[in-house]
Amino acid sequence: MSHEEIEILFVEDSLDDAMLTLRAFKKSGFVNTVHHVKDGAEALDYIYARGAYTSRNVQKHPKLILLDLKMPKMSGTEVLQRIKSDPNFKSIPIVILTSSKEDPDIQACYALGANSYIVKPVESENFFQIIKEIGMYWMVLSQLPD
Amino acid sequence: MGEKESSSELLIANKELAYQNQEKENHAAELSIANKELAFQNQEKEDRAAELIIANKELAFQNQEKENRAAELIIANKELAFQNDEKENRAAELIIANKELAFQNDEKESRAAELLIANKELAFQNDEKEKRAAELIIANKELAFQNDEKEHRAAELIIANKELAFQNDEKEKRAAELIIANKELAFQNDEKEKRAAELIIANKELAFQNEEKEKRAIELLTANTELKKAEDDIRKFNEELEQKVIERTAQLEAVNKELEAFSYSVSHDLRAPIRGINGYAQILEEDYADKLDQDGIAVLHSIRKNSKKMGQLIDDLLAFSKLGRKQVSFADINMNNLVNTLKEDFLAEDKEKKIEFNIEILPPAKGDQSLIKQVWINLISNAIKYSKNKSHAPIAIGAYHEGAQVIYYVKDNGAGFDMQYYDKLFGVFQRLHSQEEFEGTGIGLAIVQKIVNRHNGSVWAESRLNKETTFYFSLPDINS
């Protein structure tokens, strides 16, 4: 899988959630275009083509970032803030995908420029359905910036 | 004598002649100088003579002037001599006049002395006459005064006489009055004695009352002191109470914060593993079902059902704990619109078409629309849920006023509950039915109670098993 083809950057520290999400993408036909990173620092390395991603073309933005909030080292909120405050990358749509239903998190994310805030359902069937719908909505229905 | 002696004498004579010659020449030179000196002196004398001529002319002019002045002085002298003569003549005349006056003066003094003597005589005679006149005037005044005195006395006597007669009359009248007054006084005296006796009695009564009042005052004072002490105690108690309230509030705030942290943790950390269990179970079911036998698949179903239930419990618990923290906003609520909209939703889900709503006119309320809507949803869905075993499910919704409250109710003919367990009805996760009979987490009524309480209302219910069950909730009447 070449990085030039990546359309969705998926930031998730929980391997279980990552596995389930990737399976849902796979079943929806998006699997080849999703790249999973395990924490916020790696997500920023990917975006800025640093560290393990120096070979990546920094001009080529992912079309969508799926971002978990509660992660070790660097939280999703921090990643969101960094990307949305950088004129080069702030046009990339960011969908927050998290377990937290807490109001303050939701308010804060939208204030920082998140494009959507989705609570992962506990029930697997609903969960798979939501992942599928996110893929459909952002990758197929929405007209995204280049 | 020889020739030599003659020549030496000649030489000497020569030398003498030469010397005499020299002397003569010297003398001629000296005479020339003296001549010049004399010529110079001569010139000097001539100059001096010229100057003397000029000085002489000056002196002659001055002399002339002095002669003129002397002539003038002679004339002035003659004038003064004339004036002197005049003054001497006048002095002689004055001396004569003076003598005349001295004579006249003597004459006048003699005359004055004579007049003085005559004057004194006349003054004495005058004094004598005045004394006599003054004595006569005094004697005259005395007589006139005595006359007046006598006339006054006579007039006074007449008046005094009249006065005495009048006084006599008055005294008689007064005596008569005094007799009457005396009688009056005797009567008044009696009255006063009676009054005094009464006053003595009244006085004793007052003294007694006074004592009673003093006793009462002392009692009141004691009571007052006790009251003050009680007040102090109450104030102290109040302060302690306030302190306790502050401490308790702080504790509660701390607990509340802990609870919030706990809810967040539950929300995030507990949901993730359950999602994992659920998700993996589904993968097993979807991708590996052919490798499991009938029992294995049944177990898998149970795993999924339980994890789903667990997720539901967590979500319910979160919703409930959030309610306690949520800020309630008060706005007008049209209860008729709210309930009728819900009715349509419920009817749409009623596939068997066995529900029959009977909704009365509902008074409006004030409150948080989304929360009050949740109350109606929970009560109506309960009514529907517990009517599932009935072929016909009538649900009655209505309201009535009671005091300052409006009471809303939802009535059904479903399973109902045993009033014996009523105290568990509104408890969190308390259920009066088994999961097999009726599904549920036992949070719905707890939520209803919490919302209604936060709107200053209360909730209660009554039920006859399998016959009729009614849930009531009250809200403050917006018109009172």
pLDDT of residue B257: 79
pLDDT at residue B255 greater than cutoff 60: yes
Per-residue pLDDT tens for B3-59? 677 888 888 888 888 899 999 989 888 888 988 989 899 999 998 988 999 988 998
Q: For B282, name the nearest residue in chain A, comparing CA atoms only.
A: A124
pLDDT of residue A103: 63
Amino acid at A109: C
pLDDT (average), residues B348-368: 92
**Two structure tokens written together for B76:** 């002035």
Proportion of chain B in helix, strand, coil states, percent, rounded to 5: 75, 10, 15
Q: Which domains does chain A have, with CATH numbers?
A: 3-141 (3.40.50.2300)
Supply the DSSP string of B251-271, one letter for each residue: HHHHHHHHHHHHHHHIIIIIH
Contacts of A70 in chain B (CB under 8 A): 268
Sort strands B331-333 and B468-476 into parallel, antiparallel or unpaired: unpaired
pLDDT of residue A3: 55
Backbone dihedral angles phi then psi of residue A59, each to the nearest 5 degrees: -70, -25
What average pLDDT is seen over chain A?
Answer: 86
pLDDT band of residue B1 (cuts 50, 70, 90) is very low
DSSP at B441:
-
pLDDT (average), residues A32-46: 90
Q: Does A104 touch chain B (CB under 8 A)?
A: no
- CB pairs < 8 Å spanning A and B: 68
Per-residue pLDDT tens for B65-89? 999 988 888 898 888 889 988 888 8
Backbone dihedral angles phi then psi of residue B398, each to the nearest 5 degrees: -160, -170
Q: Does A98 touch chain B (CB under 8 A)?
A: yes
> Which of the residue ranges B251-265, B268-282, B313-327, B347-361 has the most confident prediction, judged by mean pLDDT?
B347-361
CATH 3.30.565.10 corresponds to the domain B329-480: yes
Residue, of B442 and A103, whose pLDDT is higher = B442
Contact B280, A125 (CB under 8 A): no
Q: Lowest mean pLDDT of A38-42, A78-82, A133-137, B374-378, name the range.
A: A133-137
Binding-face residues of A in 13-72 toward B, CB within 8 A: 14, 16-17, 19-20, 23, 70
Contacts of B308 in chain A (CB under 8 A): 122-123
Rounded to a whole number of angstroms, the distance from the CA of B265 to the nearest CA of chain A is 9
Give the ipTM of the model, two decimals please: 0.74
pLDDT of residue B6: 80
pLDDT at residue B202 greater than cutoff 80: yes
Q: Lowest mean pLDDT of A88-92, B359-363, B435-439, B448-452, name the range.
A: B435-439
Q: For A18, name the nearest residue in chain B, comparing CA atoms only.
A: B276
Rounded to a whole number of angstroms, the distance from the CA of B303 to the nearest CA of chain A is 12
Helices (H), B266-289: 271-287
Per-residue pLDDT tens for B86-129? 888 888 888 888 888 889 888 888 888 888 888 888 889 889 88
pTM of this structure: 0.48
Per-residue pLDDT tens for B363-417? 999 999 989 999 999 999 999 999 988 889 999 999 999 999 999 999 999 999 9
DSSP at B402:
E
Q: In what order do the strands lie in the sheet containing B459-464? A: B355-359, B393-402, B405-412, B468-476, B459-464
Of A16, A100, A102, the CB nearest to B276: A16
Q: What value, to the nearest 5°, has the Cα angle with vertex B406 and ends B402 and B408?
A: 115
Of A20, A101, A121, the CB nearest to B318: A101
pLDDT of residue B452: 94
pLDDT (average), residues A53-58: 88
State the sign of the Cα–Cα–Cα–Cα dihedral B342, B344, B348, B352: positive
pLDDT band of residue B424 (cuts 50, 70, 90) is confident
Supply the DSSP string of B348-398, one letter for each residue: HH-TT--EEEEE-----EEE-HHHHHHHHHHHHHHHHHTTTTSSSEEEEEE
pLDDT of residue B118: 85
pLDDT (average), residues B168-177: 90
Task: List the domain boundaries for chain B.
Answer: 329-480
* Cβ <8 Å between A98 and B308: no
Q: Which residues contact A46 (CB under 8 A, 6 or more apart)?
A: A9, A35, A37, A53, A56
pLDDT (average), residues B235-261: 88
pLDDT of residue B476: 94
pLDDT of residue A5: 65
pLDDT (average), residues B426-448: 82
pLDDT of residue B238: 94
Contact B414, B354 (CB under 8 A): no
pLDDT of residue B338: 95
pLDDT (average), residues B436-458: 88
pLDDT of residue A1: 45
pLDDT band of residue A4 (cuts 50, 70, 90) is low
State the sign of the Cα–Cα–Cα–Cα dihedral A53, A55, A60, A62: negative
Contact A22, A36 (CB under 8 A): yes
* Cβ <8 Å between A17 and B275: yes
Q: Does A130 touch chain B (CB under 8 A)?
A: no
pLDDT of residue B10: 86
Amino acid at A111: A
Q: What value, to the nearest 5°, has the Cα angle with vertex A46 and ends A43 and A52?
A: 110
DSSP at B288:
S
pLDDT of residue B157: 87
Q: Lowest mean pLDDT of A40-49, B213-222, B317-326, name the range.
A: B317-326
pLDDT at residue B254 greater than cutoff 80: yes
Q: For B275, name the nearest residue in chain A, comparing CA atoms only.
A: A122
